[in-house]
Amino acid sequence: MNIQKSILTSGFLLFLIIVLMSCKQEGKYQAFTPGELWLDNNNVHINAHGGGILYDNGTYYWFGEHKTEGENGNLANVGVHCYSSKDLYNWTDEGIALSVIEADSTHDIAKGCILERPKVIHNKKTKKYIMYFHLEPKGQGYEGARSGIAISDKATGPYSYIRSVRPNAGHWPFNAPEILTKGPVRVEGAIFTGGSLSAPADSLNILGRDMQGGQMARDMTLFVDDDGTAYHIYSSEENSTLHIAQLTEDYLDYADKYARFFPDRFMEAPAIFKKDEKYYLMASGCTGWAPNEARSAVAKSIWGPWTELGNPCIGIDADLTFHSQSTYILPIQGKNSQFIYMGDRWTPNDAIDGRYIWLPIKFEGDKFTIEWKDSWILNDL
Ligand code: GAL
């Protein structure tokens, strides 16, 4: 009896040890600590800035700008970095998903171009993974305002670069006011001054100026709706106005259906999510790498009308989005109303040191709010 008892006890102890060991192996992080260094499986600070997340087959994939040390660290010297995770706290380095081209300095994505805010979506019909990003060909500053498109058979890549475009060439947005479609183009000289124009966007008619050649597309995100329709949301018209453009069924082109919103609001860093049949938008103002006050908006249809809800951040440093700029709002899989704000705390003098600000999203009636937390866990959502 005693022998049986001690066998049972040691069996139980062994079981306990195995359980405890497997818990320990789960990963080094068991909480989010916004603004701190965030080490990957190789103990290197995650290098995926201006990023977005794809959930695919039980795994989260984080894609972002790979920054480099020292001067010019914000240029695309390497490409788009990918990490994977099952628990969102611990990330495995999956390497460079899309590499810049070193051999040809005239290539669209030549080493030293500007390649920002990459986002990846999965096309269930074609089974392809499609990446869009803001592209500025090398040596042209931010004049290009183009969308780059790349494709892969695997989530982690490698992605093959397809082409870059100025979206929606030859098409008016379906909600364009007549003063733009019929009115004159009145753009004097260089007008982009970062955050303002020499006159209201509509009176300059930047939309009309770019109608034939395609619309400017800088800060951006992608959104796939429940019915599989994908949208590209980008800052356009010299950053003054946000465009939402439907993509074709294969996600590789524009479906020639798009609309413009928030003229003259200079919304950047757009992030979109859907909850209870409503669409929510978060964006920043337009002050380069320096943080500013965020905005939010809600709509019953992605095509609007969009109603602005003001700054979603509350508490200390809410007016500077807790020293960050939005990049993505992540829906937690299997949870209807759990979302994470993902922002970048840019460090332009040492871009590779930029920090990630992930915070829980809370809902108050029709609004969502974000509050600072030094440390938090998914159960806090
Ligand atoms: C920000 C933008 C970033 C980057 C930066 C360059 O406004 O959100 O993605 O383009 O300007 O100054």
Domain ranges of the chain: 276-374
Quick: pLDDT tens for 206-248. Answer: 999 999 999 999 999 999 999 999 999 999 999 999 999 999 9
Which positions of the chain have pLDDT values less than 50? 1, 12-25
Phi first, then psi, for residue 360 (nearest 5°) are -70, 145
- Distance between terminal CA atoms of the chain? 50
What is the pLDDT at residue 192? 65
Q: Distance between CA atoms of 204 and 226, rounded to whole angstroms?
A: 37
Give the per-residue pLDDT at 21: 47
User: Can you give the pLDDT at residue 189?
Assistant: 61
Residue closest via CA to ligand 1's atom 1 equals: 288
DSSP for 164-199? Answer: EE-TTTT---TT--HHHHTSPP---S----SS--SS
pLDDT of amino acid 183: 85
Give, using CA atoms, the residue closest to atom 7 of ligand 1. 288
Number of other CB atoms surrounding residue 365 within 10 Å: 6
According to the model, what pLDDT value does residue 10 have? 57
pLDDT of residue 187: 76
Q: What is the pLDDT of residue 209?
A: 93
pLDDT tens sequence across 101-136: 999 999 999 999 999 999 999 999 999 999 999 999
Name every protein residue with a CB atom under 6 angstroms from any ligand 1 atom.
50, 116-117, 219, 268-269, 286, 288-289, 325
For residue 340, give the nearest of 353, 352, 328, 348 by alpha carbon.
Answer: 328
Mutate to test the pocket of ligand 1, among 268, 282, 325 (most ligand atoms within 8 A of CB): 268
pLDDT at 16: 44
Element (H, E) at 245: strand 241-247
* Confidence (pTM): 0.92
In the structure encoding, which two tokens stand for residue 363, read together? 């809902």
Q: What is the pLDDT of residue 130?
A: 98
Q: DSSP labels for 256-319?
A: EEEEEESTTS--EEEEEEEETTEEEEEEE-S-TTS----EEEEESSTTS--EE----EESTTGG
Q: Could you tell which of 219, 240, 325, 344 is best to mutate to test the pocket of ligand 1, judged by most ligand atoms within 8 Å of the CB?
A: 219
